[in-house]
Amino acid sequence: MAWAGKILRVNLTEGTCKSEPLNMEWAQAYLGQRGLATKYLTEEIDPKVDPLSPENKMIMTTGPLTGTCASTAGRYSVVTKGALTGAIACSNSGGFFGNEMKNAGWDQIIFEGKAKKPVYLYIENDKAELLDASEFWGTSVWDTEEGIKEKHGDPMIRVASIGISGEKGVKYACVVNDMHRAAGRSGVGTVMGSKNLKAVAIRGTKGVRVKDPKRFVQAANDAKKVLADNAVTGQGLPAMGTQVLMNVINEVGALPTRNHRDSQFEGANDIGAEAMAKERASDGKTNLVTNAACFGCTIACGRISEIDRTHFSVAERPEYQIISGGLEYEAAWALGAATGVNDLEALTFANFICNEQGFDPISFGATVGAAMELFEDGVITTDNTGGIELKFGSAEALTTLAELTGKGEGFGAEIGLGSKLLCEKYGHPELSMSVKGQEFPAYDSRGIQGMGLTYATSNRGACHLRSYTVASEVLGIPEKTDPLATDGKAGLVKAFQDATAAFDSSGLCIFTSFAWTLEDVAPQVDAACEGDWTAEKLLEVGERIWNLERKFNNDAGFTAADDKLPERLVKDAAKTGPAEGKVNGLDKMLPEYYELRGWTQDGVPSNETLDRLAL
């Protein structure tokens, strides 16, 4: 119950689609989505495999609550070995695709091999077939999605696809569904492109069964009330979206600016939630059109925006769409503060190209920021950039590079390498603000110390969605801790990491955790799923998942030496704001973290820990 009980195994090399039963023993140990798909992946591939070879596999996966009436229960994830990092990758997306997949009766779709020519997978409930995608290859996510719906004569089909960037091997390509919702990080779309898989299109009408429907509806309704009564999920996120954070994070001195040279951005006011809601002098409209919700969500944090038609970005390029999803905070930061650009319309334009051609705005913006530093330091010149004056603050350079990266052309192809390979190529690896090859998101760990440990130990490379200690260190959720202190942060990070892994495996959105603890999730899972599910059990499942991911990375060749931050963050003190004079104290937190995890000081889970977690 709640699980559909079925996996679709698609062999792209052979062109076959086969159904097989879900391993219910593993479902009890790993719950679903992130955890369960990671179990399958780690059982089925060699950790040392080249992420872009046919031997790598890619799994689309729902959680047991996906498709139910629980709030935010529309999630799915893409699990694979990441193209950007070479580490375990799990990228989670909202929208409506996950719900459709579950309603078609599939817990997971495992893709293996590589198709000889571009294909897409078409699913109608139990029926699944691979179809020729040559007419969609070379087109954007938006054209692919519309084209597939038109071809099959059904506007209700849900599509997840890659854009041209994923076809061209941009290292941080996404899988985009519902036009602008993305499994965004670590290059899961790059892996999909390497398999010649353009899209997955699904129509599902079977419904989702739960163990105890009456108790489940009650538990889901109780939990919805908790979301509605909470200031963040009931007011802040619906009204202002994640962009509510821009000025908050700037004020605490943790808004990484110009490739982390600074930790406060003088243009923050121009690119945050308030700016999106402000009437433009040019046309009397606001950038923000409305908020929006994913399937079944009672929070509705999403933003839909419209670019000013007179802005140079769209005036010069009328072929692009001017209404789409975003800006979300992370994208606004990466495209804005990380590059020093305070032009909201230019940021929106660049973000829409990320949506349209399917690449991660965080890694893109951060890589542009690194390239701008290389340019300003004289390491690269207009000879390298194809004539682009790549200066911090240049909206022109940002929008031009967004277009080029989306197409994998010109200097955009080099931006598509990600900051690690780009900075290595030009002899300055220290300028890549990344961990395990993945660029930092929007929090400077000199001003929010726990985020330094979060980034260093994140199993998919630098990431805020593996342990959002910002909640505690800045917002006081579930309780306030001092953002500038390192004491107690090892335990805080571990607790967030384990709980997040459980949330991510349930089918629910992690943003619920601003209001919910696992005590709110457990009654919903328990009423829906076979077995006895308590908060304690969910936390243990989360810890098991974290260690399984770590073991995969260790077997892939990652060591404690990869749990590190760029020197800039541990040697160059913040220059302004509350964190002035501070560096990140990773060296103080990491040994305690290893100990709390039950790992050796070499960062390897001990045999005792593996036995305790039945790994």
571 in Cβ contact with 583 (< 8 Å): yes
Place of tokens 């935010």: 72
Interface segment toward ligand SF4; rule CB under 6 A; list 106-114, 184-192, 293-301, 344-352: 293-301
Does 70 bind ligand SF4 (CB under 6 A)? Our answer is no
Round to whole Å and give the CA distance between 535 and 520: 8
Closer by beta carbon to ligand SF4, 302 or else 577: 302
CB of 250 to ligand SF4, least distance (A): 22
Omega within 30 of 0 (cis) for the link into 288? no
Residue of the chain from 511, 533, 593, 594 that contacts ligand SF4 (CB under 6 A): 511
119 in Cβ contact with 131 (< 8 Å): yes
Does 36 bind ligand SF4 (CB under 6 A)? Our answer is no
Taking the alpha carbons of 558, 561, 567, 568 in that order, is the dihedral positive or negative? positive
CB of 331 to ligand SF4, least distance (A): 13
Interface segment toward ligand SF4; rule CB under 6 A; list 159-167, 296-304, 409-417, 467-475: 296-304
Does 294 bind ligand SF4 (CB under 6 A)? Our answer is yes
Closer by beta carbon to ligand SF4, 293 or else 560: 293
CB of 347 to ligand SF4, least distance (A): 19
CB of 99 to ligand SF4, least distance (A): 11
CB of 388 to ligand SF4, least distance (A): 34
Return the bridge partners of 173, or none: 359
Alpha-carbon dihedral angle through residues 601, 602, 608, 614, given to the nearest 10 degrees: 130
Residue of the chain from 87, 188, 368, 509 that contacts ligand SF4 (CB under 6 A): 509
Interface segment toward ligand SF4; rule CB under 6 A; list 207-215, 298-306, 369-377, 600-608: 298-306
Map residues 299-318 to x or -, x wherever contact with ligand SF4 holds by CB under 6 A: xxxx----------------
CB of 229 to ligand SF4, least distance (A): 16
Closer by beta carbon to ligand SF4, 72 or else 497: 72
Which among 108, 106, 156, 161 has a CA at the least distance from the CA of 131?
A: 161
Q: If you ran DSSP here, which 8-state letter would residue 335 be given? A: I
Q: If you ran DSSP here, which 8-state letter would residue 241 be given? A: G
| DSSP string for 418-466 | -HHHHHHHTT-GGG--EETTEE--S--TTTSHHHHHHHHH-TTSS-SSS
Residue of the chain from 173, 223, 244, 297 that contacts ligand SF4 (CB under 6 A): 297
CB of 300 to ligand SF4, least distance (A): 5
Does 174 bind ligand SF4 (CB under 6 A)? Our answer is no
Place of tokens 């997840």: 160
Closer by beta carbon to ligand SF4, 516 or else 552: 516
CB of 34 to ligand SF4, least distance (A): 15
Interface segment toward ligand SF4; rule CB under 6 A; list 294-302, 428-436, 472-480, 558-566: 294-302
432 in Cβ contact with 566 (< 8 Å): yes
Q: If you ran DSSP here, which 8-state letter would residue 359 be given? A: B
Does 94 bind ligand SF4 (CB under 6 A)? Our answer is yes
Closer by beta carbon to ligand SF4, 91 or else 385: 91
Residue numbers 72-91 binding ligand SF4 by CB under 6 A: 72
Helix (H) or strand (E) run with residue 609 in it? helix 607-612
Closer by beta carbon to ligand SF4, 70 or else 87: 70
Alpha-carbon dihedral angle through residues 173, 175, 176, 178, given to the nearest 10 degrees: 180
Q: If you ran DSSP here, which 8-state letter would residue 583 be given? A: -
Going from the C-alpha of 200 to that of each of 110, 119, 182, the distances in angstroms are: 12, 9, 14
CB of 223 to ligand SF4, least distance (A): 13
Which residues, including other chains, have CB under 8 Å from residue 152's CB and lie 6 or more apart? 122, 201
CB of 465 to ligand SF4, least distance (A): 11
Round to whole Å and give the CA distance between 365 and 165: 15
CB of 379 to ligand SF4, least distance (A): 38
Round to whole Å and give the CA distance between 237 and 171: 31
Residue numbers 186-225 binding ligand SF4 by CB under 6 A: none
Interface segment toward ligand SF4; rule CB under 6 A; list 44-52, 111-119, 295-303, 561-569: 295-303
Round to whole Å and give the CA distance between 86 and 82: 5
Round to whole Å and give the CA distance between 310 and 307: 9
| Chain residues that interact with ligand SF4, rule: CB under 6 A | 72, 94, 293-294, 297, 299-302, 509, 511
